[in-house]
């Protein structure tokens, strides 16, 4: 699916990655077929839910990244 890491899509199967990719494709390549009800649904239902899931993923991945780069000798985190 696009350029998104397979690890991310596999680690978070509850996210509608396929819907996100389809929406991107419609906006980018088939914009003449966009209807007002599609935009309304995306803005009011789909994107707010996706935003919450995405923020959770970002927070979790930042914690994992910091853990991976933890300096064992000094017990502190190395910012990447």
Each residue's pLDDT tens digit in the chain (80 positions)? Answer: 556 677 888 889 999 898 888 888 988 999 888 888 988 988 898 889 999 998 888 888 887 666 555 555 455 544 54
Confidence (pTM):
0.60
b/e map 58-67, b = 16+ CB within 10 Å = eeeeeeeeee
Assign residue 19 a region: left if phi > 0, alpha if psi is -120 to 50, beta otherwise?
A: alpha
CA distances from 34 to 20, 44, 48 (A): 15, 16, 19
- d(CA 46, CA 13) in angstroms, rounded, equals 16
């Amino acid at each position: 699916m696009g350029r998104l890491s397979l690890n991310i899509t596999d680690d978070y199967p509850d996210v509608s990655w396929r819907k996100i990719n389809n929406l991107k494709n419609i906006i980018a390549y088939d914009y003449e077929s966009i209807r007002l009800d599609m935009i309304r649904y995306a803005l009011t239902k789909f994107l707010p839910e996706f935003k919450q899931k995405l923020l959770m993923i970002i927070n979790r991945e930042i914690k994992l990244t910091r853990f991976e780069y933890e300096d064992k000798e000094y017990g502190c985190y190395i910012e990447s």
